[in-house]
């Protein structure tokens, strides 16, 4: 007959084995998301490159993520190797090549996609060209930060004269007031700006003559509206009005 101490030892050993097995089957979660978005020459499509950094753990046969249905996925890769996937109704399923193996370090997945952008009325005074957006979020902290690069070109003199100007002195853009602008720069120099009630007004260092161009760098950050460890935030707020600097006449698109 076993004494109580032997029973306790056996029970403790069994509990330890269960904990170890549970630890070995811990599924990776999204630790960080980096995305690069680009619109070139006032195009109608946005190119999106998204990198998911997954925590260490045992790789499942497939990962299931939420990614908006309007993304046209061109490929999913792990360390440069293409992975099989399906994308329907906003659900992205990625089939892993090394399912069942335990990763002791982070794993990174890359998703290449396209998305159509809205069109609408533009500013009569300037156009926005060659848009680049670099975006990072850490889901556990429910926060993100964005660095936007855009090229502004002043339009014809006639439009400026109608407003009583001979050159463009300030740029009125739209950017949600849910975001906090940390800096606006041009050629490495800080610019003055005002950000209030969804309007971002940038004061140029010198007037922009018709046909002339200037490049801007706008840094801003914010808090995601909710936490979902399987949501791929390739746009702030998953898209929506004024989530990146835009012309204020056009909700959610420059």
Q: Which residue has the higher pLDDT, 9 or 125?
A: 125
Q: What are phi and psi of 17, to 5 degrees?
A: -60, -40
Q: State the pLDDT confidence band at 39, using cuts at 50, 70 and 90.
A: confident
Place of tokens 């002043």: 154
Q: Which residue has the higher pLDDT, 167 or 196?
A: 196
Q: Which CATH superfamily is domain 126-238 in?
A: tricorn interacting facor f3 domain (2.60.40.1730)
pLDDT over threshold 60, residue 19: no
Q: Per residue in 79-89, pLDDT tens? A: 899 999 999 98
Residue 161, burial from CB neighbour count under 10 angstroms (0-12, 13-18, 19+): exposed
The 3-state DSSP class for residue 165 equals coil
Q: Could you tell me which residues come within 8 angstroms of residue 225 by beta carbon, excluding any fewer than 6 positions away?
A: 237
Query: Can you give the pLDDT at residue 100?
Result: 65
Nearest-Å Rg of the Cα atoms of the chain is: 24
Q: State the pLDDT confidence band at 163, using cuts at 50, 70 and 90.
A: low
Separation of alpha carbons 53 and 55, rounded Å: 7
Measured CA distances, 196 to 56, 115, 209, 225, 241 (Å):
42, 29, 27, 20, 15
Query: Can you give the pLDDT at residue 201?
Result: 92
Most confident of 8-12, 98-102, 233-237: 98-102
Which residues on neighbouring strands pair with residue 114, listed in sequence order?
47, 72
Q: What are phi and psi of 185, to 5 degrees?
A: -135, 155
Q: State the pLDDT confidence band at 222, using cuts at 50, 70 and 90.
A: confident
pLDDT over threshold 60, residue 217: yes
Separation of alpha carbons 209 and 222, rounded Å: 34
Measured CA distances, 252 to 23, 42, 116, 138 (Å):
43, 15, 12, 23
pLDDT over threshold 80, residue 215: yes
Q: State the pLDDT confidence band at 189, using cuts at 50, 70 and 90.
A: very high
Query: Can you give the pLDDT at residue 204?
Result: 92
When pLDDT is averaged across residues 10-30 and rounded to a whole number, the result is 50
């Amino acid at each position: 007959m076993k004494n109580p101490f032997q029973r306790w030892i056996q029970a403790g050993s069994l509990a330890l084995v269960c904990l170890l097995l549970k630890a070995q089957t811990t599924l990776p979660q999204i630790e960080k998301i980096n995305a690069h978005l680009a619109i070139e020459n006032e195009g109608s499509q946005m190119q999106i490159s998204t990198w998911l950094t997954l925590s260490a753990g045992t790789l499942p046969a497939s990962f299931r993520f939420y990614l908006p249905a309007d993304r046209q996925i061109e490929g999913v890769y792990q360390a440069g190797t293409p992975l099989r996937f399906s994308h329907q109704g906003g659900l992205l399923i990625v089939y892993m090549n090394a399912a069942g193996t335990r990763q002791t370090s982070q794993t990174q997945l890359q998703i290449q996609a396209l998305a159509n952008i809205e069109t609408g009325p533009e500013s009569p005074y300037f156009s926005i060209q060659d848009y680049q957006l670099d975006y990072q979020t850490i889901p556990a902290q429910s926060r993100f930060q964005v660095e936007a690069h855009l090229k502004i070109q002043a339009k014809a003199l006639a439009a400026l004269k109608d407003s009583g100007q001979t050159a463009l002195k300030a740029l009125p853009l739209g950017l949600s007031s849910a975001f906090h602008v940390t800096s606006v720069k041009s050629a490495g120099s800080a610019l003055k700006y005002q950000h209030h009630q969804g309007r971002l007004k940038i004061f140029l260092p010198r007037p922009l003559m018709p046909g002339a161009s200037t490049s801007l760098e706008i840094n801003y950050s914010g808090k995601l509206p909710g936490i979902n460890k399987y949501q791929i935030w390739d746009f702030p707020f998953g898209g929506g009005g004024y989530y990146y600097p835009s012309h204020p006449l056009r909700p959610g698109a420059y």
